């Protein structure tokens, strides 16, 4: 719980500071006097006044922040300071100041994605498990141990990339062509038809439901117990199981199943040891499975898994390009999902609030720094996209007003803006209520 809260507060604090620094820096560049820069709301925990007479503050509730600028609409202004008021700046300057916050979040996401790409990471190769009958993957002819080489002509190295491209096609209910290398080493093509895919519940692993899952790991012998059937058969730690009985290329689960199914009966094994293949025979000892109460076979060795992996890493320039492209793709995907929610193609229960975000912050922090940075990049994109929505009270709502001002040649009437603010407040409260309801539902179910 402590790690979850700490990870959540750090992530949210960084993203809020970057967002508000975007507004602050452009406002200062445009000659606007900034009265206050606040991280959080409620009781002030810390404050400091700088040489520009801007108050910097940290408040108790870390669920937002704001930059307060000098503005005639909020009170009387000394005549000598009128040139520094926000409302007297040109419409293009006001657009730049308001847009700078969301843009700062998108730029941060691009830098985080670029940093991850430049640093590199070890990821699973896109080697697929055999799909269940009737799934989209099965209907397309996907086979056990198919390794994805290309998705719609794009070379993919890792399961992360393959999954991303497949998800984009799936949410569009389109067609996708996979180029795969099958278990025999032949290159094949699989045409994937997602036209009938159900994408309403994005909380589920939609690709897994349609038969796209990573193959289970190849079984590897770990610790061998003294005097066990495994030791008597000549098995050693790090032996890779290539075949058990008639079953070629078993995974960890099917190997254990085969052993358990032959108590007291010899089972032939083909293993790889130090690059050479060996043929062995093991006779599993008779044992009682406490869970099922039946007699099963045990060989007395720990079984670990060997996932095929690849290190994905790019150079400095390529990583910057990757960061920009990934940010644009994630932003576009987020907008598309919001649009599908509005028209009912995707369930609103996919909206997440602070409880779910905090949970993911804690989970990714436990996994490691790379996962946590990836989480921060994703949330930074979401924050940028959300604030650019044309909803009054958000940055995008103000940009909408400025667009109307450009078209009309004058600001919208005050009555319009008041109605817009009320409507925007209602929309945001509704979204927050739905998100919190979803959070509580996830928490208690």
Q: Active-site positions?
A: 20
Q: Which of 346, 370, 20 is nearest to 160 (CA)?
A: 370
Burial class of 234 by CB neighbour count within 10 A (0 to 12, 13 to 18, 19+): middle
Among 179, 172, 166, which residue's Cα sits nearest to residue 207? Answer: 166
Pairing of strands 267-273, 295-298: unpaired
Residue 242, exposed/middle/buried by CB under 10 A (0-12, 13-18, 19+)? middle
- Alpha-carbon distance of 309 to 210, in angstroms, equals 23
Both tokens of residue 182?
Answer: 């099958």
Nearest CA to 11 out of 367, 361, 371 is that of: 361
CA distance linking residue 145 with residue 307, whole number of Å: 12
Q: How far apart are CA 332 and CA 326, in angstroms?
A: 10
Enclosing H/E stretch for 324 = helix 316-342
Q: Which residue has the tokens 């008639």?
A: 246
Q: Find tokens 């006001």 and name the residue.
A: 94
Q: 3-state DSSP call for residue 55?
A: strand
Q: What SS3 class is residue 368?
A: coil
């Amino acid at each position: 719980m402590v790690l979850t809260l700490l990870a959540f507060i750090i992530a949210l604090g960084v993203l809020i500071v970057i967002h508000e620094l975007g507004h602050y820096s452009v406002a200062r560049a445009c000659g606007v006097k900034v009265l206050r820069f606040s991280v959080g709301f409620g009781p002030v925990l810390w404050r400091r006044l700088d040489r520009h007479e801007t108050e910097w503050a940290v408040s108790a509730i870390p669920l937002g922040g704001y930059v307060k600028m000098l503005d005639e609409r909020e009170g009387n202004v000394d005549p000598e300071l009128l040139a520094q008021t926000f409302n007297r700046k040109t419409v293009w300057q006001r657009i730049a100041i308001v847009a700078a916050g969301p843009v700062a979040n998108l730029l941060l996401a691009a830098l985080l994605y670029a940093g991850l790409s430049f640093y590199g990471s070890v990821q699973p190769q896109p080697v697929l498990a055999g799909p269940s009958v009737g799934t989209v993957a099965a209907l397309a002819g996907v086979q056990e141990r198919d390794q994805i080489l290309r998705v719609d002509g794009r070379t993919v190295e890792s399961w992360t990339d393959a999954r991303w491209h497949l998800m984009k096609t799936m949410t569009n209910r389109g067609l996708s062509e996979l180029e795969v290398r099958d278990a025999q080493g032949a290159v094949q093509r699989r045409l994937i038809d997602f036209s009938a895919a159900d994408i309403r519940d994005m909380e589920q692993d939609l690709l897994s439901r349609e038969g796209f899952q990573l193959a289970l790991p190849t079984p590897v012998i770990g610790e061998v117990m003294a005097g066990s059937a495994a030791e008597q058969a000549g098995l050693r730690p790090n032996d890779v199981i290539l075949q058990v009985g008639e079953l070629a290329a078993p995974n960890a689960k099917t190997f254990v199943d085969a052993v358990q199914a032959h108590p007291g009966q010899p089972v032939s094994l083909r293993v790889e040891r130090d690059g050479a293949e060996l043929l062995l025979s093991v006779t599993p000892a008779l044992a009682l499975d406490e869970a099922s109460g039946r007699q099963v076979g045990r060989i007395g060795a720990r079984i670990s898994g060997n996932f095929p992996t690849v290190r994905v890493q790019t150079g400095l320039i390529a990583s910057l390009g990757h960061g920009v492209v990934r940010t644009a793709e994630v932003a576009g995907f987020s907008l598309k999902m919001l649009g599908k929610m509005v028209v009912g193609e995707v369930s609103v229960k996919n909206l997440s609030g602070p409880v779910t975000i905090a949970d993911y912050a804690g989970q990714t922090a436990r996994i490691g720094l790379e996962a946590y940075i990836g989480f921060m990049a994703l949330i930074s994109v979401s924050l940028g996209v959300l604030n650019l929505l044309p909803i009054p009270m958000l940055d995008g709502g103000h940009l909408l007003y400025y667009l109307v001002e450009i078209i009309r040649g004058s600001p919208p009437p005050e009555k319009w803006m008041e109605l817009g603010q009320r409507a925007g407040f209602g929309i945001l409260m509704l979204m927050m209520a739905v998100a919190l309801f979803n959070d509580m539902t996830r928490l208690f179910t």
